[in-house]
Copies of this chain bind each other. A is one copy, B any other.
Amino acid sequence: MQKSPGAVLVLGGARSGKSAFAERLVTETGLSRHYIATGRAWDEEMRQRIARHREDRGEGWETHEEPLELAARLNDVAREDRAVLVDCLTLWVTNLMLEERDIAAEFAGLVEAIATMPGRLVFVSNEVGLGIVPENRMARDFRDHAGRLHQRLAALVPEVYFVAAGLPLKMKG
């Protein structure tokens, strides 16, 4: 199996502190800091969430907005002297579903792209599979996709954390 030497996956629930922890992982590298935001500001609530994330992050980040072409964008942004934070994979999955992309092909493309990518890569994603089965079919498909992506990435990258209440639990590494 391919391994991605400089990559880490940070999982956690809503407001678990996973983004702040991921930002610390980036900052402590001392590399130049890049942020790939996958979220789309499609309503006022989402705009506020994005603005709050940006404010929490503080100065010193170069931000790239990329709702869909994540592998291609990572290919452009990742370099030996850079640390890249992707926040978050679950919004990327949402966007892929809304655009009716081929999910399996997209996941394969991402996994292939990052396997040999230079620099430090930090992926943030929401764990969404620990509640009651959703009544909505699309929500069930979404959590299946998210779960499969997490499994694939967790097998690929050398470090995985689960964050709760701002506290990281190392699952791998």
Interface, chain A (partner B; CB < 8 A): 9, 11-17, 45, 127-134, 137, 139-140, 142-144, 146-148, 150-151, 153-155, 160, 162, 164-167, 169, 171-172
Say whether B164 contacts A11, CB under 8 Å: yes
Of the listed residues A14, A134, A143, A146, the one surrounded by the most CB atoms of chain B closer than 10 A to its CB is: A14
Taking a contact as CB atoms under 8 Å apart, the answer to whether B169 and A11 are in contact is no
Using Cβ atoms and an 8 Å threshold, which residues of chain B touch A172? 167
Question: Which one of B9, B12, B144, B165 contacts A9 once the chains associate, using CB atoms below 8 Å?
Answer: B165
Which residues in B have their C-beta under 8 angstroms from that of A144? 14-15
- Measured in the bound complex, the distance between the Cα atoms of B148 and A12 in whole Å is 13
Q: Which 10 A-B pairs have the closest CB atoms?
A: A131-B131, A15-B147, A13-B129, A14-B129, A154-B165, A130-B130, A150-B165, A151-B166, A13-B130, A167-B171
In the complex, what residues of B have CB within 8 A of residue A164's CB?
A: 11, 127, 150, 162, 171
The A contact surface, by secondary structure, is mixed
Neighbouring B residues of A133 by C-beta, 8 Å? 14, 128
What are 23 pairs between A and B in contact, CB < 8 Å? A9-B165, A13-B128, A13-B129, A13-B147, A14-B130, A15-B129, A15-B143, A15-B151, A16-B150, A45-B137, A127-B165, A128-B133, A130-B131, A131-B132, A132-B134, A150-B164, A150-B165, A151-B165, A153-B165, A154-B165, A154-B167, A160-B165, A167-B172
- Complex-state Cα separation, A131 to B162, whole angstroms: 15
Residues of B contacting A171 in the complex (Cβ-Cβ under 8 angstroms): 164-165, 167, 169
Chain B: minimal CB distance from A46 (Å)? 11
Q: Smallest distance from the beta carbon of A160 to chain B beta carbons, Å?
A: 6
